[in-house]
Amino acid sequence: MSDERRESARSKLRGTDYWPLWAKALRRLERNGLSLEGTPLRLDGLEPDQRRAIAGLLGTSAAGDKPLSVRLETLDGRLRRGAAEVGLVEWLELLDGPIRNRPAERASAQSEREESWSSTEAHPALGDRVDLQAWVTDVRRSGAATRMAGSVSAGAELARRVLDVMAALPAHNVTLAQLAAQLTGDAHALDRDQALGRLSDAAIRVIDEANDLPDAGDDNGPNGDVPAAYGWRRRWARQGVICDELSVSALALNLPASGEGLTSGVVFNHRRCGEPVRLTLRQLGDAKLEVPPGTLVRICENPSVLAHAATTLEGEAAPLVCVEGQPNSAVLALLNLLAADGAEFAYHGDFDWGGLRIATTVIERYGAEPWRFGVADYLAAAPAGTLLLDPPGAGATAPWAPGLVEAMTAHNVAIHEEQVLDDLLADLAEGERQN
């Protein structure tokens, strides 16, 4: 066939009468990976001119009103032998460009996902960390990282960067900007409005939950901070990362501190009035809190204990510091200052798995004595307990009280500080050492 006749014939095949056939054939080829095999196409709802044109191309009758049946193999052969002089795939690509191979695309996407996530799932930070392993599995399955990053490969890379952050935690009094700059070169990479910052916060939530730590508090902060911001800062503070020096604070009552400087004056004046004092990390940074050597400073877990002591005992209460959960950088700074002057510590917390972890941190770090926080104390309070313990978290121990974990497991009830508040207040009123 001459070029002129071929082009004329192809021009005819490009006409609107054939569009229903080409459209349906294209969709079928995209779905089945460009294969000509399979069940025949059914063409119904055709206009009379369309029906005659398509039937003529196929060499079938256009009579009747039943749907036309079209086998792709037959159509391919008719095109090759007829005016088009090319097969069906080539012809459709001449009409509308390359045909998508959807099964191949899905297979390629799956391969990309597997390849992209393989290195993430082999990250050294995971090790035997069941909490982080579960987080990686969840963030991959849910597509959270992919949505944040815009693609599968970018999502896997984002998750890997989060694990880089987790590998650097816990830190020690490092600012969020410093940590971000060290790990990424961008001081703002871990900000709340950045994908890495948001996803890192999600990972820290998982770590907190796995360690039975109380919710960091997406409720309003002590200074009226918006909920999300307050919870964000507390979670990072637990990891030794300072979002800012003003938002991280330590709560104390009746510290017998003297010395020069603004912070000492603040502590002194609050003690004189029997009022709790909240000290920011900024205030504690260069503070000098001089206390008499050997001063016993009691430490509690929950602010309600300190609040009741301030209300009922006022200025007569023994010195008290509240850690408010796992000690943040401001609490550690305060305890470090007191320890440097020779203060001694006694600790009480909740009898639950999270409480044991907090106690372990404080007792081991500062050599604190247990304060009504032994086996006998738990057994005495257990009959009044009603709140069941969660299953023991990974590695819950009480090295200061052999047998405590076993006793708590056997009785299976949590005893919070508020349930033994009268005993704690009695000790604070006497100001004497109670082991």
Half-sphere exposure of residue 105: CA atoms within 13 angstroms, side-chain side: 9
396 to 101, 353, 364, 402, 411: CA distances (angstroms): 54, 6, 14, 12, 16
Q: DSSP letter at 351?
A: B
- pLDDT number for residue 209: 84
Whole-angstrom Cα distance, residue 175 to residue 329?
10
How would you classify the pairing of strands 68-70 and 174-175? Answer: unpaired
**């508090």: which residue's tokens?**
217
Q: For 40, phi and psi rounded to 5 degrees?
A: -65, 150
Q: Is the dihedral of CA 227, 230, 236, 237 positive or negative?
A: negative
Tens digits of residue pLDDT in 107-126: 777 767 667 788 898 899 89
Tens digits of residue pLDDT in 203-229: 999 988 887 776 666 544 444 344 467
Per-residue tokens: 130: 């069941």
Whole-angstrom Cα distance, residue 423 to residue 193?
46
- Name all domains of the chain by residue range, CATH numbers in brackets: 3-100 (no CATH), 112-238 (no CATH), 248-430 (3.40.1360.10)
Q: How much is the CA Rg of the chain, to the nearest whole Å?
A: 36
- pLDDT number for residue 85: 87
The identity of residue 64, as a single letter, is G
Whole-angstrom Cα distance, residue 113 to residue 104?
14
- CB proximity list for 91: less than 8 A, separation 6 or greater: 13, 79, 84
Residues of the chain with pLDDT under 50: 219-227, 432-435
Q: Which residues is 258 bridged to in the sheet? A: 290
Q: For 347, phi and psi rounded to 5 degrees?
A: -120, 140
Largest CA distance in the chain: 113
Judged by DSSP in three states, 344 sits in: strand
